[in-house]
Amino acid sequence: MAQALYRKYRSQSLNEIVGQQHITDVLARAIKSGHINHAYLLTGPRGVGKTSIARILAHEINKLPYTSDTNLDIIEIDAASNNGVEDVRDLREKVSIAPVAADKKVYIIDEVHMLSKPAFNALLKTLEEPPEHVVFILATTEVHKLPDTILSRTQRFHFRPIAADDMTTHLAEIAKKEKISIEKDALELIAERAGGSFRDGISLLDQLRNLSDGKITAKMIEETLGLAPIKSVDELIEHIKDRRLGAAVELTDSLEQNGISPVVLVNQLTARLRSKIASNPELIDLIDDLIDVTKSHDPQLKLLAVIAKAASPAETEKPAKSNVALSAPEPTISVKAPEKVIKKVAKNEIAATVVIKQDTNAPKSLDWPALLDNMRTENPPLYAVMQKASVSYDAGTLNIAFGFKLHQKKLEGGRYRQMLTDFLHSKLDFIPTISTSVGKLPASGKGVGAITAIMGGGEEVNVS
């Protein structure tokens, strides 16, 4: 069986480690001067070289050549499967035994954050007064789970994610040695997908080599991993920067229809945006919002809302007029009346909040389905809220009923309420009185009204 590339090209000395020079330089000087600490803590994301450096350091301390052969004086422990207090007590009993052949007995404890609390307490006693011949090297991806008492007794080194340029260069060297034909764009895409992990990047290169019949291309990687084309991702970012809302929403929908997962697209967007933050600091809010997409119960709708929000015209820009056909004339706007709050308590109904009463010359009817359809493309975040509501219109009042209080509160929040007001103003040149409630709308028709009451949703439009 062929050896996996990430094992074949694992670093054998400190000067072969890529991307962690701030650590290797310090360790090299310490070893050269003979200043060896009794306990080291290596922290950082997975796949960046913590275990490799731990093994190299163990051999360098004992002035032994680095090999894959077992050494009785270098003991590796996986805390994920040896995390009990009895395991640590067994370690403490063996610590006092002198090294077999080397100067120091080195214990490497990987994923040390997995130790139980009693196990940490037992380990602490050994770290406080270790024998002169013992060195501990602890490694973890979750340093925040370690007790302060452990942290204070170790010399700590924090590993950084591998820079994309460093990874691309390293992968190109491996590809050349292995005679793997691969495009530069494909190497850059692998480095981007690796997320700063050398191990993941090299493993992905290995997998693609086995899947390829010839040259590895960026298009092949996109198709294999279900990625959006890089060109499309960059195009979407440009639409957002230029506030081309319609184009951004259309492209997002197109990528979804082509089978691109919203979570995958979010990862691609954040990876590309990171490189643009320095020259486009306004994009930081978009990255912050994208983080919430993967936590949503409906990632696709959440992603659409995030992109629409980021690509919406600036507040100072007046929204463009729509061609939505309304059955009412367009009267002029009258002076705003003060905002008024009315509370009404009735069975199965939480009373409405009435917002912005304006025009006494209100139209007798309006085409709400057409407005809602227009809202779907022009303001997806607002549409996501309003599609959950039952709506009727009566003599200048837009009655909006939600099945749940949570949805009513969302609309009544300043941002969404203002969005609805601005949207209606842009389409009607008049702002109706907006009345929201939880429960069912007042009966205005035997058919639709009855269905709405039973199903708790739908769009009920009362045409006077």
Phi, psi of 48 (to 5 degrees): -110, 0
- Confidence check: pLDDT of 347 > 50: no
Taking alpha carbons only, the member of 143, 173, 151, 171 closest to residue 46 is 143
58 found inside a domain? yes
Which of 174, 204, 225 represents a domain boundary (last residue)? 225
Q: What is the predicted pLDDT for the residue at 321?
A: 45
10 part of a folded domain: yes
pLDDT tens figures, 170-189: 999 999 999 999 999 899 98
Confidence bin at 414 (pLDDT 50/70/90): low
355 shares its domain with 413: yes
Does one domain contain both 259 and 204? Answer: no
Here the tokens at position 140 are: 């973890």
Query: What is the signed CA dihedral for 269, 270, 272, 277, rounded to 10 degrees?
Result: 130
Dihedral, CA of residue 58, residue 63, residue 64 and residue 66, to nearest 10: 60
What would you report as the CA-atom Rg of the chain, rounded to the nearest whole angstrom? 31
57 in Cβ contact with 27 (< 8 Å): yes
In-domain check, residue 144: yes
Joined tokens for residue 79 = 């805390």
Q: Report how many domains make up the chain.
A: 4
Residue 154 DSSP class: S
- From 225, 240, 273, the end of a domain falls on 225
Per mean pLDDT, which range of 266-270, 298-302, 336-340 is the poorest? 336-340
Residue 51 resides in a domain: yes
Do 9 and 146 reside in the same domain of the chain?
yes
191 and 115 in a common domain: no
Q: Are 303 and 268 in contact (CB under 8 A)?
A: no
- Same domain? 268 vs 195: no
pLDDT at 206 over 80: yes
Q: Residues 297-327, buried b or exposed e (16+ Cβ, 10 A)?
A: eebbbbbbbbbbbbbbeeeeeeeeebebebe
Contacts of residue 428, defined as CB under 8 A and 6 or more positions apart, other chains included, come to 326, 328, 330, 363, 366
The secondary structure of 278-299, three-state, reads: CCCHHHHHHHHHHHCHHHCCCH
Q: How confident is the model at residue 30 (pLDDT cuts 50, 70, 90)?
A: very high
Alpha helices (H) along 329-413: 368-378, 380-386, 405-412
Sign for the pseudo-dihedral over CA of 367, 449, 379, 259: negative
| Angular region, 456: left φ>0, alpha ψ -120 to 50, beta rest | left
User: Rounded CA gap, 104 and 97, in Å?
Assistant: 11
Is residue 413 domain-resident?
Answer: yes
β-strand partners of 77: 109
Q: Does residue 463 fall inside a structural domain? A: no
Predicted local distance difference test score (pLDDT) of residue 333: 35
Through-space distance between the first and last CA atoms of the chain, rounded to whole angstroms: 79
Check whether residue 21 and residue 153 sit in a common domain.
yes
Structure tokens at 64: 């032994």
Q: Which H helix or E strand runs over 123?
A: helix 117-128
At residue 106 the predicted structure's pLDDT band, cuts being 50, 70 and 90, is very high
For residues 89 and 14, the model is more confident at 14
In terms of domains, do 66 and 150 share one? yes
pLDDT bracket for residue 352 (50, 70, 90): very low
Question: In 53-177, where do the E strands start and end?
Answer: 74-78, 105-110, 134-140, 155-158
Tokens 């007001």 identify what position?
Answer: 421
More confident residue, 411 or 158: 158
Residues of the domain holding 290: 230-311
For residue 150, what is the domain's CATH number? Answer: 3.40.50.300
Same domain, 147 and 15: yes
Confidence band (pLDDT; 50, 70, 90) for 68?
low
The pLDDT value recorded for residue 173 is 93
Q: Give the relative orientation of helices 368-378 and 245-257 as an angle to the nearest 10 degrees.
A: 80
* pLDDT, position 453: 38
pLDDT band at 315 (very low <50, low <70, confident <90, very high): low
pLDDT digits (tens, 9 = 90+) for 225-271: 888 988 999 999 999 988 898 899 899 888 988 888 888 998 889 88
Rounded to whole angstroms, the Cα distance separating 54 from 61 reads 11
Confidence band of 155 (pLDDT split at 50, 70, 90): very high
Residue 283 has pLDDT above 70, yes or no: yes
Lowest mean pLDDT among 5-14, 249-258, 406-415: 406-415
Based on the domain organization, do 55 and 151 belong to the same domain? yes
Tokens of 458: 């739908």
CATH of the domain at 191: 1.10.8.60
pTM equals: 0.61
- Which of 7-16, 118-127, 170-179, 206-215 has the highest average model confidence (pLDDT)? 170-179
What is the rounded distance in angstroms from the CA atom of residue 447 to the CA atom of residue 464?
A: 16
What's the gap between Cα 416 and its chain centre?
Answer: 24
Structure confidence at residue 356 (pLDDT): 39
Q: For residue 459, what pLDDT is reported?
A: 42
| DSSP tally for the chain: helices H, then strands E | 20, 10
pLDDT at 2 (0 to 100): 67
Handedness of CA 249, 250, 255, 257 (dihedral sign): positive
Selected residue with higher pLDDT from 37 and 433: 37
The helix (H) or strand (E) run that includes residue 351 is strand 349-355
Instruction: Please tell me what DSSP assigns to residue 5.
Output: H
Please state, rounded to an integer, the average pLDDT across all residues of the chain.
Answer: 79
pLDDT at 376: 82
Shared domain for 194 and 279, answered yes or no, is no
Q: Is residue 320 part of a domain?
A: no
Cβ atoms < 10 Å from Cβ of 151: 14
Q: H helices of 129-278, where?
A: 148-151, 164-177, 184-194, 198-211, 218-225, 230-241, 245-257, 262-274
Residue 130 has pLDDT above 60, yes or no: yes
Residue 440 has a pLDDT of 61
Looking at residue 373, its pLDDT comes to 85
Which of 173, 194, 225 is the C-terminal boundary of a domain? Answer: 225
Helix or strand (DSSP H, E) at 349: strand 349-355
Residue 4 has pLDDT above 60, yes or no: yes
Judged against a pLDDT cut of 60, whether residue 346 lies above it is answered with: no
User: Which segment, 262-266, 374-378, 380-384, is predicted with the most confidence on average?
Assistant: 262-266
> For residue 192, what pLDDT band results from cuts at 50, 70 and 90?
confident
